[in-house]
Structure 1
Amino acid sequence: MRKELLAAGLCGLLLTGCQDNPKGDNYGGVSHLHPDNRRSEVYGDQANKKRPDVSQRFGYYRHQKSPIMGDRSNAKEMAVLDREQIAKDISRVSTTLPNVNDAAVLVTDEEVLIAYDTDTTNRELTADQVKRTAMSRVPRFFHVYVSDNKNLMRDVETLTSLTTQDEDANEAIAAVIKEMKKSPQGARINASENENGETSDDLKRGMNGGMKR
């Protein structure tokens, strides 16, 4: 009889635990895929008090593929980029490079245009540094165009009055890129991509709706 009571008590405790946490794969209803969210559950409030400032912590995120066949909701979320913030970051970091004094940056839906003022004696090297700075901050399919012709800074700024929905945006961007390519673009990205990150297929079909540049 004592054994039966003990077994009943253990079952009761297990049922209570399940009720407190209705989602079996969670810690207190918080996804176990995010370790920061469960540290207080495991280690108590002291863990949060000892955590370093957000500017000192590493960035970590884990995401699982949706079990629903054909679910594209994640792709839609990824497609939304804060282009203004990216342009701001690229401009700021570019001016930390040697001999780059000013940088005007435009980020479209698939390109980055950078016109900068420099006093460098090695134009190719500086162009390569500026270009790779931009490429490190945008998705891999982006193409980057640079120019040390500071007169083009005004042209790049003028393009900000356009949007991705404007019919003449592609033509205006292509015109500025054509001028930018007269300046050094740095080294090739790799064997299959040219200096701007364009492949042979990109050049064949052209960018911005098939317009060849």
Structure 2
Amino acid sequence: MRGLLLTLFICLVVITGCAEDNDLVSEREHLNNQLNPGANQSVDPDFDKRLGYVNYKKEQVNEDENAQITVDRHALADMVTRVLLKNDSFQEVATLVTGNEVLIAYEKDEDNENSDEETAEFARKTAMSLLPRYFDIYVSDNHNLIDDLHSLHNQTTDTNDYQNTIDSIIKEMEKSPQGD
């Protein structure tokens, strides 16, 4: 349990940023600027060179009883999708991050010489390298599942039949190679 909380805390720190300097733009804006360099916002050229650092005393953390550790699921899905598309094996990638699962549907590039199993393994291991270990990761080269994942993009975890829909998509994904 402690390990899970530590992992979640680290993810929170990485995703939301820790800078208290008022001159710095929020982490999300930095991420958006880095991923969308054509945006009209200024980009900090040293952003990717900065170190992450936090220092708290136990009293400081205990004082904020209402603080919750959260994970920006959209940012995680965006990061996985963009990293996969940097590889020549993929033409289109859709990623859905829930509370416990990561579902990745993709269309292989026509010139991809890797086997279906190798491509699935690459997608899976890439997601594993970017995400906390507690996520169950499912991949599929079934292009139709991209639309299924898209249909859930505005859902919340408290939506009726949310988990039933996820379970149905996972069953379909498991028909595809999953890699090691």
Per the normalisation by structure 1, the TM-score is 0.56
The answer (yes or no) to whether the contact 1:115–1:148 under 8 Å persists in 2 is: yes
Paired position in structure 2 for 1:183: 176
* Alpha-carbon distance in 1 for matches of 2:172, 2:107: 15
Structure 1 unpaired stretches of 5+ = 1-33, 38-51, 188-213
Alignment of 1:137-176 (within 5 A): 137-176=130-169
Letter of the 2:146 partner, please give it: M
Structure 2 unpaired stretches of 5+ = 1-17, 22-43
Answer with 1 or 2: which has the greater Rg: 1
* Alpha-carbon distance in 1 for matches of 2:148, 2:127: 19
Task: Name the SS for the 2:93 alignment partner.
Answer: strand
Q: 2:52 matched to 1:60?
A: yes
Which one scores higher on RCO, CA 8 angstroms, separation ≥ 6?
Answer: 2
The answer (yes or no) to whether the contact 1:145–1:185 under 8 Å persists in 2 is: yes
The answer (yes or no) to whether the contact 1:97–1:129 under 8 Å persists in 2 is: no
Identity fraction in percent = 36
* Alpha-carbon distance in 2 for matches of 1:91, 1:180: 17
Paired position in structure 2 for 1:97: 87
Paired position in structure 1 for 2:71: 81
- Runs (4 or more) in structure 1 with deviation over 6 Å come to none
CA offsets, 1:36-80, max 9 Å, x none?
A: 97xxxxxxxxxxxxxx94234142213346248x949599543x1
Shift of the 74–138 alpha-carbon distance from structure 1 to 2, 3 Å rule, reads farther
* Alpha-carbon distance in 2 for matches of 1:114, 1:89: 12
Per the normalisation by structure 2, the TM-score is 0.66
